[in-house]
A and B are shown apart, each in its own frame.
Chain A
Amino acid sequence: MTRFLPKTFWQLVFAALMAASAYVTFVRFYHGLGSSTNLNDQFPWGLWIGFDVLCGVGLAAGGFTLAATVHIFHLERFKPIVRPAILTAFIGYLLVIVALMFDLGQPWRIWHPLIMWNPRSVMFEVGWCVTLYTTVLALEFAPVVLERFGLRKPLRILKSVMLPLVIAGVLLSTLHQSSLGSLYLIMPHKLSPLWYSPLLPILFYISAIGVGLAMTIFESYHSSRAFGRQLEFPLVKRLSEVLAVVLAFYLALRLVDMKSRGAFQLLESPGIERWLFGLEMVLMALPMLLLFREKIRNQPRAIYWCSVSYLMGFMAHRMNVAITGIESASGVRYTPKWMEVVITLGLIALGFAVFRWVTALLPIFSDEEERPSIAIKVKPMPVRNDAFQTVAPVR
């Protein structure tokens, strides 16, 4: 993206965002949530929960999807992008936790759920899973750091427990990706039937897997431009095929579920809901339909834009669940205050910056020094290795 405009421009934007974020941080912690957000008793959850937490955790789903693909399903060809994916996920989860620190009324009590149990609470479960999974991500990422500093012994220990770690990571992700949907199960009276469904956890889970695939495509595309590292195109194409199938499955489930609950008649009532619902649907259905066409799947750029469209549809869905669908029952309209938006943008910018910084310092895009014993013998890659990047000309 940096290539659209001169680098200094982005540096300025970044600096401005950080300065604004610092100011908002002061307002938030000195004057409280009332001064920094548009939240109120009728609308207690806003942008920070809807976007930073719900979308943030979802967008970090690439970590577990790829860890499972490579380490459990042994699809070793995807190995070059496991590290970037784990790093993205790790940064993502840390940012989600930072966002939570802004949103919680008393963030210094964030550890309370770890000792004050309430197993009937979805939030309790999410809290535990996110804590544990962030730890797992740290451990999955640790080899990179250890390698960099040549610490062989801890590296060996870590590698010997990698399998249980990866399995734990996948399970924890499964639990909390779906549980983010379960959070809303207790609100049949609040969430509009366009989004409320007993299937929410399953829908959240499947769409998170879709995001894992789409984010992989997205990252691969961008890292090819920024770092010259990428997946071979056949792999990207394969990913896009799987994405199309996952999307088809998701949409079928979503529509059948809506039909069985008679939710479609709600589309007749006027208001913004149906348009935002439509937007969410189109952003998801369009890439699915396109990706089923061989012609589209032969164009890296088209695959990239299909992934972007799905990612936006995914975010639209999460925001609809968290905000649009709640508005009418709560009796108020919610638009985020500029300070909420600043923190959200600031965190995204921070995420990008940290990612670039870490990749400059650590061997994220280089191969591990210890090749696994069962590594595929690398045949000299034929010309097919024309990569993602050839069609992304420098503008």
Chain B
Amino acid sequence: MARAILYDSTRCVGCRECEKACSSRWGLPYDELIAAEEKVSVKKLVTIRTHGERFSRKSCMHCQDPACVSVCPVGAFTKTAAGPVVYDGTKCMGCRYCMAACPFQAPAYDWNSRLPKVSKCDLCSDRAAAGKPTRCSESCPAEATITGDRDDLVREARKRMAENPGQYVDKIYGLQEVGGTSVLMLSGVPFDQIGYRTDLPVRALPGYTWDVLKHIPDTVTVGSVMLSGIYWLTARRQKVAEAEGDGARGFRKGVRS
């Protein structure tokens, strides 16, 4: 079972109970000012954004093959088998590559701290072990956010779309984006109208890097053989040139070859 969240924008009433519950779990202060800031930051790890009459939810999407996990040089992120992508602040050195690479701008940094760390949603991974839903789902009065197994949630989403023709756009956001995510979304209007990026590749991002990184061992092998070969050849030629008593020619030839 892989833990996931389904957020249904058509059900969301924008009450921000999820934000509040999440902040209390992390021990973060929550007040009206913070509520009004519609972006994830060290102050809150999930946010509801208003688009006229509609709402959208923003937080870490818990990608199936996450960019953050692949780019972190110290392996501070892990995609757990249970679904959540978790962060280990004791490893992090603060290069912020995870932030640069994340397609959803999810990781936030504690810019004003002397010992800064990255913060992001962890899908309540500690509660997952106990089989409890995430705090945001638990607190949602409208059942707009629910926790469950990813496959079940996909089925649930399809069911809602089938049972309410015309109410949803024909797309489950997160099913395919960057290789799929563990947070899925439903919406009544095209997703780009409520602040989601619809131009993301369906290929998981780490693949783009691996295409190149995988060639490193070969580059090293071929490279060292080639360089040694060049060394040997040019050294020989120079000796020959020297024997002929014409040092300068070695250089000329060398450049032209």
- A binding-site residues for B, Cβ under 8 Å: 29-35, 39-42, 44-45, 68, 71-77, 103-107, 109-110, 112-113, 116-125, 127, 163, 167, 170-171, 174-175, 178, 182-183, 185-190, 198, 201, 238, 242, 326, 330, 374, 376-377, 379
A377 contacts across to B, CB distance below 8 A: 242, 245, 247
Given A174-B219, A188-B208, A121:B71 Cβ within 8 A? yes
Chain A's nearest CB lies how many Å from the CB of B34? 15
Structural contact, A379 and B248, CB atoms closer than 8 A: yes
A330, B104: Cα distance in complex, Å: 10
> Are A39 and B216 closer than 8 Å at their CB atoms?
no
**Segment at the A interface, from B15-23, B151-159, B195-203:** B195-203
Q: Across the interface, do B115 and A106 meet the contact criterion of CB distance under 8 Å? A: yes
B250 contacts the other chain (CB 8 A)? yes
A186 with B101: in contact, given A121-B70, A170-B227 (CB under 8 Å)?
A: yes
Top 7 closest A-B pairs, CB basis? A105-B94, A34-B111, A376-B247, A109-B93, A74-B234, A123-B73, A118-B75
Q: Flag if A185 contacts B209 (CB, 8 Å).
A: yes
Measured in the bound complex, the distance between the Cα atoms of B118 and A33 in whole Å is 13
Q: Is the CB of B251 within 8 A of A376?
A: yes
Which chain B residues border A34 with CB–CB below 8 Å?
Answer: 111-112
Q: Is the CB of A171 within 8 A of B220?
A: yes
Given A74-B250, A75-B255, A105-B93, A186:B208 Cβ within 8 A: yes
Point out the residues of chain A lying under 8 angstroms from B105, CB to CB.
41-42, 330
Contact: B212 with A109, CB < 8 Å?
no
Cβ-based interface call for B254 (8 A):
yes
Instruction: Let me know if B255 and A125 touch, CB within 8 A.
Output: no
Contacts of A71 in B (CB 8 A): 231
Decide if A116 touches B239 in the complex (CB within 8 Å).
no
| A116:B74 contact, CB within 8 angstroms | yes
Query: Could you jot down 26 A-B contacts, CB within 8 Å?
Result: A40-B111, A44-B100, A44-B109, A45-B96, A72-B231, A73-B230, A73-B254, A74-B254, A103-B95, A104-B94, A104-B95, A109-B74, A116-B91, A118-B74, A119-B213, A120-B69, A121-B73, A121-B75, A122-B209, A123-B72, A123-B95, A171-B224, A175-B216, A189-B178, A189-B199, A376-B250
Main secondary structure on A side of the interface with B: helix
Given contacts A77-B248, A106-B116, A109-B92, 9 further A-B contacts (CB under 8 A): A31-B114, A72-B227, A104-B95, A105-B116, A109-B93, A124-B73, A186-B209, A376-B242, A377-B247
Q: Is B133 part of the binding interface, using a Cβ–Cβ cutoff of 8 Å?
A: no
* A29 to chain B: closest residue by CB: B114
Residues of B within 8 A of A112 (CB): 73-74, 91, 93
Query: How many residue pairs between the two chains, A and B, have CB atoms under 8 Å in the bound complex?
Result: 199
Q: How far is the CA of A47 from the CA of B103 in the complex (A)?
A: 21
Given known contacts A105-B96, A118-B75, is B227 in contact with A32 (CB within 8 Å)?
no
- Complex CA–CA separation, A120 to B73 (angstroms): 8
- B interface vs A, CB < 8 Å? 39-41, 67, 69-76, 91-97, 99-101, 103, 105, 107-117, 178, 197, 199-201, 205-206, 208-213, 216, 219-220, 223-224, 227-228, 230-231, 234-235, 237-239, 242, 245, 247-248, 250-251, 254-255
Contacts of B250 in A (CB 8 A): 74, 76, 376
B106: min CB distance to chain A, Å: 9
Q: How far is the CA of A276 from the CA of B94 in the complex (A)?
A: 30
Q: Complex Cα distance A56/B91, Å?
A: 27
Nearest-CB residue, chain A, relative to B42: A41
Contacts of B67 in A (CB 8 A): 186
Residues of B within 8 A of A182 (CB): 209, 212-213
Q: Is the CB of B101 within 8 A of A120?
A: no
Residues of A within 8 A of B39 (CB): 41
B203 smallest CB distance to A (angstroms): 9
Residue with the highest number of chain A CB atoms closer than 10 Å, among B71, B112, B211, B242: B71
Q: Which residues of A contact B197 (CB under 8 A)?
A: 189
Q: How far is the CA of A236 from the CA of B254 in the complex (A)?
A: 15
Q: How far is the CB of A208 from chain B (nearest CB, A)?
A: 15
* Distance from A224 Cβ to chain B, minimum over Cβ atoms (Å): 20
Contacting pair A106 B71 (CB below 8 A) = no
Of A68, A127, A188, A189, chain B has the most CB atoms within 10 Å of the CB of A189
Pairwise interchain contact B206-A186, C-beta atoms closer than 8 A: yes
Q: Are the CB atoms of A174 and B223 closer together than 8 Å?
A: yes
Which of A33, A120, A238 touches B206 (beta carbons < 8 Å)? A120
